[in-house]
Amino acid sequence: DAKTTQPPSMDCAEGRAANLPCNHSTISGNEYVYWYRQIHSQGPQYIIHGLKNNETNEMASLIITEDRKSSTLILPHATLRDTAVYYCIVRRDGYQLTFGKGTKLSVIP
Amino acid sequence: DAGVIQSPRHEVTEMGQEVTLRCKLISGHNSLFWYRQTMMRGLELLIYFNNNVPIDDSGMPEDRFSAKMPNASFSTLKIQPSEPRDSAVYFCASSAGGGQQPQHFGDGTRLSIL
């Protein structure tokens, strides 16, 4: 699976949009981009995934660049409960999820 | 909807004792994953089941670890005998089949071996 690069930490003001970037320059054509988050003392929580089109669900939006070498997870109106470590994972068909170090997002009141 | 349910949430025991961790899958899911998380090694996949059959157990540390699925909705991870280096948070996850179906995690069992 392709390697991903994320900033180690980010801050976001409460109520503002949180934009979390991820670089995956070695991604292959059949690899999907997944986002999970882990709130302290809880299990990883699935957020969203996509292949090449932008995706939106009730939690977030995923924007994937046309060359698919990077993506951005957008939380449209961050709340204090969105403070967590966010993981960007690139995965081809199969079951392996390889979690890196992720981005620690702190939502500031 | 009920998510993945793990028990116990916390377990403290002395080395040498047998430890059994339990996991109930989300209804309708047929794939089951056991992970272990430590500060040093992050989140590691231990074993993967599909339709109650172990598909990949290459992440299981050693013979002291064993996992079973006695039925389609339940799994156990057993450590016997336990050692202090087994201390970690153990997560169970399930998904509705293979391919690109996302895995949904339980809240884990925090295991401390004294």
pLDDT of residue B102 exceeding 80, the answer is yes
pLDDT of residue A15 exceeding 80, the answer is yes
Question: Can you name the residues that pair with B23 across neighbouring β-strands?
Answer: B6, B75
pLDDT of residue A92 exceeding 80, the answer is no
Minimum distance, in Å, between the CA of residue B48 and any CA atom of chain A: 8
What value, to the nearest 5°, has the Cα angle with vertex B49 and ends B44 and B52?
Answer: 155
Instruction: Return the percentage of chain B with pLDDT > 90, whole number.
Output: 89
pLDDT of residue B92 exceeding 70, the answer is yes
Show residues of chain A in contact with B107, CB under 8 Å: 41-43
pLDDT of residue B98 exceeding 80, the answer is no
B43 touches chain A (CB under 8 A): yes
- CB nearest to B42's CB, from A32, A94, A99: A99
pLDDT digits (tens, 9 = 90+) for B38-80: 999 999 999 999 999 999 999 998 899 999 999 999 999 999 9
> What pLDDT shows up at residue A1?
65
Instruction: Return the percentage of chain B with pLDDT > 70, whole number.
Output: 98
* CA distance between the termini of chain B: 36
pLDDT category at A2 given cuts 50, 70, 90 is low
B31 touches chain A (CB under 8 A): yes
B91 touches chain A (CB under 8 A): yes
Distance, CA of A54 to CA of A29 (rounded, Å): 16
DSSP for B49-94 reads EETTEEEE-TT--STTEEEEEEETTEEEEEESS--GGG-EEEEEEE
> What pLDDT shows up at residue B6?
98
pLDDT category at B87 given cuts 50, 70, 90 is very high
Cross-chain residue pair A101–B42, CB shorter than 8 Å: yes
Average pLDDT of chain B is: 94
pLDDT digits (tens, 9 = 90+) for A35-69: 999 998 899 999 999 999 899 999 999 999 999 99
> What pLDDT shows up at residue B2?
81
Minimum distance, in Å, between the CA of residue B86 and any CA atom of chain A: 18
> What pLDDT shows up at residue A95?
80
